[in-house]
Structure 1
């Protein structure tokens, strides 16, 4: 879940990042990108648009023979101002209301087996399945085998095959709102920068939803 504006600003400021700093993010995932897109989205939702992702991550940086270091850089703390864009955040109540209103499309980035309800969730006391009417696009679908994000044309085709209209509002989720941000980043690259994130994601939905709102080919949910 997102921290408060004050906590985010204090943490980022202690990293030496100012409001006009261009931030480049990466992680060391074997996928090429796992948690970095979530941090990219967090900077943006807190009002910092000067943020980029190192396409391919540390995995490809090393494969390309680029320099790495084991030295720790001690930043000079500075002031960072955060302003939360609440329109990019969806709550359980928003998703529940959308079951009838259908104001936005809901895209789930978990692997297909968890979406269908046949593969286990990694969290205790949580069964797999999906929100009624949601669309499955597993996060790794946006990445090539090399770990790079697909080119724009392929991303657009991926959304189209899944039945997602990039010109209309989109909300994304996964298990804990981390890999959901792969969808947000891909949509941003395709010209839809305002994708919202259901920050509670499946872990909250399964806990709070009535059984008929947990669609599953497996056990589902029972009171």
Structure 2
């Protein structure tokens, strides 16, 4: 991934929106996604209130609908049509944000990663998300503007995506480290998974860094590079060695990939994540899984 400006402030975005020349080159996307147990309607909330000019990017619509797993990456041509319908071409600067309770560090990074996977590096995450935008006193809107469809040409980057087979081989080869972005209770097998039929636990030898750890709770923004480095290192991660991010279903893993990106490191994501791993692996390939230890 290139070192394109990947993180922008609410002030920066406000100034761009206020500048007609700058705003014409932007496409703002609300990529809010809520876990099933939240019982919230992301698109319904978007229709009520969003950053002026924003379009809605649904990771549950822009996905591989033929897969048995949730919001897996779509085919390149399907991604191209989806974002083209949102008025995005290969020269568009895309700004992604979400309205999660975690200061916009949850599903926005999934959208950021997806654009990178399909070869679009001109994409930035709004630091602090919609929550900080509102806290900073900037205007919101309930008007969904019509946009002119455009043409986006995808360039799939397979090196940014890991499969079940990649992770399985790595159990023996140990060619990369695995970090898991789920909460520690789910990782350690002591708390429930949010999806029916899935038990908690983790991939053997994986390290746990809950995705919320990346946030400076006082400022409501991403931690500094120095703090992010300490976060990885204190969790037993060697930043000089290859690293792959995982989570429950491929969303919050992208938060850790994004955090590592701030340190100049490219971190692929295991798209199927724990849900796929749990359903396809053998008991010997799962650690701290309750049903495997009874």
TM over 0.5: yes
Aligned to 1:201: 273
Aligned to 1:29: 100
C-alpha contact 1:214 1:220 (8 A) present in aligned 2: no
Aligned to 1:181: 254
Q: Distance in 2 between matches of 1:169 and 1:161?
A: 17
**Is 1:172–2:266 an aligned residue pair?**
no
Aligned to 2:67: none
Deviation string, structure 1 residues 107-127 (Cα, Å, up to 9, x no partner): 000000000000000111110
User: Runs of 5+ in structure 1 lacking a partner?
Assistant: none
Match of 1:7 among 78, 82, 86: 78
Q: Distance in 2 between matches of 1:48 and 1:189?
A: 17
Deviation string, structure 1 residues 11-45 (Cα, Å, up to 9, x no partner): 00010011011101101111112210000000011
Runs of 4+ in 1 over 6 A off after TM superposition: none
Aligned to 1:103: 175
- What does 1:81-100 correspond to in 2, within 5 Å? 81-100=153-172
Aligned to 1:125: 197
**Is 1:219–2:290 an aligned residue pair?**
yes
TM value normalised by structure 2: 0.73
The residue matched to 1:96 in structure 2 has which SS? helix
Q: Distance in 1 between matches of 2:173 and 2:249?
A: 24
C-alpha contact 1:56 1:147 (8 A) present in aligned 2: yes
TM-superposed deviation, 1:212: 1.4
**Larger deviation, residues 146-155 vs 170-179:** 146-155
**Is 1:63–2:96 an aligned residue pair?**
no
**Larger deviation, residues 21-30 vs 140-149:** 140-149
TM-superposed deviation, 1:167: 2.1
Match of 1:48 among 98, 110, 120: 120
Aligned to 1:74: 146
Q: Distance in 1 between matches of 2:277 and 2:292?
A: 11
Q: Distance in 2 between matches of 1:167 and 1:108?
A: 18
**Is 1:112–2:112 an aligned residue pair?**
no
The residue matched to 1:100 in structure 2 has which SS? helix
Aligned to 1:190: 263
Between the two proteins, the alignment pairs up a number of residues equal to 221
Q: Distance in 1 between matches of 2:94 and 2:229?
A: 26
TM-superposed deviation, 1:94: 0.6
Q: Distance in 1 between matches of 2:264 and 2:291?
A: 36
TM-superposed deviation, 1:69: 1.3
Q: Distance in 1 between matches of 2:181 and 2:156?
A: 24
TM-superposed deviation, 1:163: 1.4
The residue matched to 1:106 in structure 2 has which SS? strand
The residue matched to 2:100 in structure 1 has which SS? coil
TM value normalised by structure 1: 0.96
Deviation string, structure 1 residues 47-68 (Cα, Å, up to 9, x no partner): 0000000000010101110121
User: Runs of 5+ in structure 2 lacking a partner?
Assistant: 1-71
The residue matched to 1:212 in structure 2 has which SS? helix
The residue matched to 2:178 in structure 1 has which SS? strand
